Amino acid sequence: MTNHHDHGDAPAAVEITDLTKRFGDTVALRDVSLRVRQGEVVVLLGLSGSGKSTLLRHVDALELPTTGSVRVEGTEVHRLHGRRLREVRSRIGFVFQQFELVPALTVLENVLTGSLATLRGPRLGLWSYPRRLRRTALGHLDRVGLLDRAYQRADTLSGGQQQRVAIARALMQDPTVLLADEPVASLDPESSDQVMRLIREIAADRGLTVLCSLHQVDLALSWADRIIGLRHGEVVLDTPTNGLSKAQVMEIYGQVATSTDELTAIEAELQPLLDAAERRS
């Protein structure tokens, strides 16, 4: 694997260059370039349809670029196939908005699917996974506070619990990069807090590079090192959160939102953020 430590203070964990993605006639991403340092927490802001999910999916090579390149830890993921691709994917944890657990499997087996890249051949059933991995998986379940649910079917859990299982599954990969696509958008406020706290703790404990799309602006400002705004598939904002002032935050939203209607809608959401920004400055 080649290293690209040649510029910047820390090596780039994710480096996207001139990425354009078309689905038929629609342009989902246009000339997106961004560089995420190792251990950096980057939050993607933008309305639905702005291209956040598509961008995240490119990092894991779940989508392939029409033009441009996507490097993860120096490797061009979109050029990889087979074993090498799976190896890179295994180092990238992905937390989905809809959790994406297999409903009919037990919680434990769902967590174990995170270890598939280290195993050869297809697996079905708990006993097809080595005892060592089962033990590790139980440890991760304990970490997310769901050890006692290990042998329940995944679909018997609440949304917040399912997302915690999905986090345990990502931990099973022992990732260096964590991608999260609106991880709490489908949850009630209480579980949403719990899940976000968990993600933040784990990311901090393990020094993970995080790329996370969110729509809670206050959360973004209090957690992220950097905020990237997307609109119609283009990067319209890329700024460190340090010392963002109230006025600047307003401007961010002027840039991210596309119409005055959206602006007013967002302003309602904005109040806690404005308070936070005020306290900060």
Residues that bind another protein (CB under 8 A): 60, 62, 85-90, 92-94, 96, 98-105, 113-114, 116-117, 119, 121-124, 126, 131, 134-135, 138-139, 142, 145, 147-148, 150-151, 166, 169-170, 172-173
Nearest to 17 by CA among 6, 37, 33: 33
CB of 233 to another protein, least distance (A): 21
State how far the alpha carbon of 27 is from the alpha carbons of 30, 51, 58, 203, in Å. 7, 9, 14, 32
CB of 87 to another protein, least distance (A): 7
Structure tokens at 242: 């340090």
CB of 114 to another protein, least distance (A): 5
CB of 202 to another protein, least distance (A): 15
Structure tokens at 92: 């990238």
Residue at token pair 């956040």: 52
Identity of the residue, 70 or 276, whose beta carbon is nearer to another protein in the bound complex: 70
Identity of the residue, 166 or 219, whose beta carbon is nearer to another protein in the bound complex: 166
Identity of the residue, 153 or 232, whose beta carbon is nearer to another protein in the bound complex: 153
Identity of the residue, 88 or 221, whose beta carbon is nearer to another protein in the bound complex: 88
Which residue intervals of the chain are DSSP H helices? 52-59, 82-90, 107-112, 131-143, 159-172, 189-206, 217-223, 246-256, 260-280
Identity of the residue, 131 or 279, whose beta carbon is nearer to another protein in the bound complex: 131
Q: How many residues does the chain have?
A: 281
Check if the beta carbon of residue 177 is closer than 8 Å to that of residue 11.
no
CB of 172 to another protein, least distance (A): 8
Instruction: Look up residue 190 and give its amino acid.
Output: E
Identity of the residue, 105 or 273, whose beta carbon is nearer to another protein in the bound complex: 105
Q: Read off φ and ψ for residue 213, nearest 5 degrees.
A: -95, 140
Identity of the residue, 180 or 220, whose beta carbon is nearer to another protein in the bound complex: 180
CB of 261 to another protein, least distance (A): 26
Identity of the residue, 122 or 189, whose beta carbon is nearer to another protein in the bound complex: 122
Handedness of CA 45, 49, 54, 55 (dihedral sign): negative
Contacts of 210 (CB under 8 A, 6+ apart): 40, 41, 42, 177, 178, 180, 199, 203
CB of 139 to another protein, least distance (A): 6
CB of 49 to another protein, least distance (A): 19
Nearest to 117 by CA among 75, 85, 161: 85
